[in-house]
Structure 1
């Protein structure tokens, strides 16, 4: 751009894209929508120490902003606090009896104040469940039950600790894993499903689905995960479609019979066993860029970017890397239409063969 960018607001998932972008905030970077890990911020902040960074927290029900925390020096590990309540905002950390918890003791986070919404439109039952009478405010006021776990630190800042329920956030979107699991088990070949968010690489959160086939006798062939994935793509918005599906003989359980999430394996994003090697220097470069962005060892020219774990944010990063390395301008939709190296290479050839549109010339005014 002709003028410098003063402020950018992003989610933590966008930080890797910001590292590769020529567009950088000169004054302030605001981060929100997801918990912010120090590891995800440290690299960028090291190269931009003079930019003020604010960690921002607030659900939509509180008109987005509820608390903020100005980061003066970035730690290398651990979670970054979500700060203190913003102007006209009250925040409570309460136990199950709606009593304030002591400093350092986790509780559920409640928000009250002038900016709080009145409730959910035409949903009185849900409004009554989430917007309850404020036990510490003026008569008639309400407080919003966020479902987030938090605690007060000794310095008066808030630390976000996760959720009280199974709701997760990926790239700023709220996701109920149970809704995704219901769609996956709607396929005739699937008996059970579990969905969770994994962060096997710092700052790269991905929604992963674990499937137990209905026919456990046929363990060698197993269900066609591509069919299950297409079903999910047809019935769910893009941000709720798992990045990968893992087939298991059974879901691991704790001694109490609950799902043992820590025992679920990381997805093995491997290329096709019959993959074809690159045939041209450009295909070789594209294969290397696919593998770099996806964080896997190798990619063949026929392997699908999204089947290997790609999503919209990684697609944006791949397009940026292609622009930097190959000097080729691509629209994001080109990758969605041609998600393989061979398809993308053919798209580049076809685009280059099209005649370029001539530059517009100033319109001549008719002579008076």
Structure 2
């Protein structure tokens, strides 16, 4: 599943975007898989810091910041998003349109990506990217490569577009051990 994540990332992010990654996530949190291995698998540079908020007192020449929306809001409050950061990946929390607008108005970011996944998948299951100047949409996006997502009702049947249901994820990113074990 990690190889699938790396393959997908290489197909949607330019090498220049992932070449200088801020590595700010605890190794125990799944976002760290993306931060570490995407960059290293392409020969890039990792900038290791205690957490993303370290940018407030340690400016770094990073091309991509991968963090949670609340940390990004704090970095914006402190005017600590490096000018070199061209891509901002946000995950782990709801991403409001107001924060997307703040990032574009207060940084040099050219692209903001909303990445989503529960812990049962390897780092990310769905994604959407918005470029500077494009319309802002609050969505978790579409599945990454070799992944499928379904919105199903309480009986496991697909719901109509726009209806409320439960998100089911299948494919290369799902951890082993869940098949035919509904209680998990």
Q: How does 1:1-368 map to 2 (within 5 A)?
A: 4-19=61-76, 20-24=78-82, 26-48=85-107, 50-72=109-131, 73=134, 75=136, 80-119=138-177, 127-130=181-184
TM-score (norm 1): 0.31
Q: Which runs of 5+ in 2 are unaligned?
A: 1-57
Measured in 2, the distance between the counterparts of 1:107 and 1:2 equals 43
SS at match of 1:62: coil
Measured in 2, the distance between the counterparts of 1:71 and 1:31 equals 12
Q: Which runs of 5+ in 1 are unaligned?
A: 131-368
Q: Deviations over 1:130-149 (max 9, x none)?
A: 3xxxxxxxxxxxxxxxxxxx
Does the CA-based 8 Å contact 1:95-1:101 persist in structure 2? yes
SS at match of 1:29: strand
Measured in 1, the distance between the counterparts of 2:62 and 2:118 equals 26
Measured in 1, the distance between the counterparts of 2:109 and 2:99 equals 18
Q: How many residues of Structure 1 are paired with residues of Structure 2 in the alignment? A: 123
Measured in 1, the distance between the counterparts of 2:70 and 2:173 equals 27
Q: Which has the higher contact order (CA 8 A, sep 6+)?
A: 2
After TM superposition, give the deviation of residue 49 of structure 1 in Å.
5.5
Does the CA-based 8 Å contact 1:69-1:81 persist in structure 2? yes
TM-score (norm 2): 0.59
- Partner of residue 286, structure 1: none
- Partner of residue 347, structure 1: none
- Partner of residue 32, structure 2: none
After TM superposition, give the deviation of residue 2 of structure 1 in Å.
8.3
SS at match of 2:95: coil
Please, what is the CA RMSD of the aligned residues? 2.6
Measured in 2, the distance between the counterparts of 1:50 and 1:119 equals 39
| Alpha carbons of structure 1 residues 86 and 51: separation in structure 2 relative to 1, 3 Å | same
SS at match of 2:162: coil
| Alpha carbons of structure 1 residues 52 and 14: separation in structure 2 relative to 1, 3 Å | same
SS at match of 2:183: helix
| Alpha carbons of structure 1 residues 129 and 95: separation in structure 2 relative to 1, 3 Å | same
